[in-house]
Chain A
C-alpha cells in the first residue's frame, strides 16, 4: 500500500508545485501551494512523523498561506495588472534556478554516497519512531537545547518587531 501512496503524493506534490508557477491567476498559485504543502505533509505521515506533518500544516497551510491569500485577494492581483517581464529576465531566471537544482541534486547524491561509505550496509538506518512527538521533544530539549532556545529568541524578537512596527503610528486614525 505504502509505495502507491508515496507515488500518488509525490505526483501530487510535483504537479501542484508546477501549477504554482504556471497558473495565470495568483490566487490559484497560492491554492496550489497549499496543495503542495498537504502532499508533503502526507509524505511525513508515511515516514511516521505525524508531529512534523501536523506542524507543517498548522504553520504553512494554516497561517502563512492564509496571510498570502489575504494579501493576494485584498490587492486583487490579476493577469492584466501583472507587469510583463522581458524575455532576457525570464532566461536569467531559468538559468539561475537550473543551477540551483543542479547544486541540490549534487548535494543529495553526495550525502547518500557518504552514508553508504560510512559503513552502514543498508544505506540509511532509519529509526521509524524518531518522528513521534515524545522522541522529538527529548532530542530537542537535550541534544539541541541551545539552537532550540536561540531560535525561540529569534521568534520572540520578530514578534516584538512586528508589534513595534504596528505601533509606530502615533496619531489617532480619523474614522
Chain B
C-alpha cells in the first residue's frame, strides 16, 4: 500500500513531540490550540476569498458574461477589494434593535462555522479533532446555526427580517431530517460514525460507486437537502430579495453583514466537504478494488488534492443550482421535504441497510 507516502500524521506527531520536549502538558495543549486556531482562521479567510471569486466567475459563465475582470489579472483581486470596502463601511445598529443580540448574532454564526470544521479530514492525518462520532458532531453543530439566524432576524426589529428568520428556521429544521437519513445510510455501509473510519472503508472504491443505486439516491437527497440547509438558491427563502428585501440580514451593514455572507460560503464548503467525505471517499484516491497497479498510480496524487478536488467539484454543482433553478415558494419547499424527500430517504435507508446486511455492495 502506497497510501503512506503523503501521510500528515508524521508532521503533526513531530510537532507534538517537539512541543512536549520543550514545555508541560497544559502549555502544549494551549499552544497547539492556538496554532490550530490560527491555521483555521487563515484557511477560513483564504477559502472565502476563493469562493466569492469562484461564485462570481461561475455565475458569469452561466449567464454568458465576463464577470470580474478589472482588479488584478482576470479580476482575481476583486474579492480582496470587496473585503476592504466592507471593512471600511460603517456597521450600523438600528435604534429599535436589540443591541446585544443584534451584534452577537453574526459572531455566533461564524463561530458555529468554525466549530463544524473540526472533524473534517483535509488530507491523510490532517483533521483537527477526529472524534469518534464525527458525523453526529457536525450535524449537531450545524443544527445550532439556525439559532444565530433567528437571533439576527428577531433582534433587527424588522418584519422582513423576522419573516426571513422564521422561514429559515422552518427550512433548516425540516431539511435536517433528510440530511440525517442520507448520512445514516453511509454510516450503515461503513459501520462507523468516525470520519477517518468512513474514509478508510472506501479504500477499495467510493461508496457512491460501491453502494449501487441506493447510495446514488442518498447522495442526490443529501445534495438537495444540504443546499436547502445552507439557505442557498433555489431554497434561499430566508433572504428571497424579491419578497423580503434581504431577509434576516436586511438591517446589517459593513463587517457584520460580511460575517453572514462569509458564513454562508464556509457553510457551503462544509456541507460539500462532508458530501465528498461520505460519498466520494474524502482524501481517498480513486481506487478500483483489485487493480493494484492502477491504485498505486492514483496514490501518487497527494491526498489534499483529492479532497479539495472533490469538494470544489461539489461546490461547483451547488453554484450551478443557484444560477439554473428558479426559487421555490415556501409551501412548495416544505411539501418537497415532507412529502417527497423524507419518505424516499426513509425507504432508501431500509434498502441500504438490507444491502449492508447481505453484503451486496462491491
Contacts and interface: CB of A to CB of B under 8 A. Distances in A.
Given A1-B26, A73-B166, A62 B143 contact: yes
Interface stretch (A50-58, A86-94, A96-104, A146-154): A50-58
Given A57-B140, A63-B143, A51 B133 contact: yes
A133 B162 contact: no
Interface in A31-61: 31, 34, 50-51, 54-55, 57-58, 61
Contacts of A65: 147
Contacts of B153: 73
Interface string B140-168: 11011011001101100000001001100
B338 to A, nearest CB: 9
A132 to B, nearest CB: 6
Nearest to A38: B144
Nearest to A61: B144
Nearest to A50: B133
B308 interface: no
A160 to B, nearest CB: 14
A118 interface: no
A49 to B, nearest CB: 10
Contacts of B166: 70, 73-74
A6 to B, nearest CB: 15
Interface in A107-141: 132-133
A69 interface: yes
Contacts of A34: 144, 147
A61 B176 CA distance: 14
Given A50-B131, A62-B144, A63-B173, A69 B136 contact: no
Interface in B16-46: 25-26, 29
Binding site secondary structure of chain B: helix
Nearest to B142: A62
B209 interface: no
Contacts of B144: 34, 57, 61-62
A67 interface: yes
A69 B147 CA distance: 8
A67 to B, nearest CB: 7
B132 A132 contact: yes
B131 A27 contact: no
Contact of B150 (A1, A66, A133): A66
A58 B169 contact: no
B137 interface: yes
A132 B136 CA distance: 13
Contact of B136 (A54, A61, A70, A73): A54
Contact of A66 (B25, B29, B141, B169): B169
Nearest to A70: B169
Given A51-B133, A70-B169, A58 B154 contact: no
A31 B147 contact: yes
A70 B133 contact: no
B187 to A, nearest CB: 11
21 contacts: A1-B26, A1-B29, A27-B98, A34-B144, A34-B147, A50-B132, A51-B133, A54-B140, A55-B140, A57-B140, A61-B143, A61-B144, A62-B176, A63-B173, A66-B143, A69-B154, A70-B166, A70-B169, A70-B170, A73-B150, A73-B162
Ranked nearest first, the 7 interchain pairs of A and B with the lowest CB-CB distance are: A62-B143, A57-B140, A58-B140, A54-B140, A73-B154, A54-B136, A69-B150
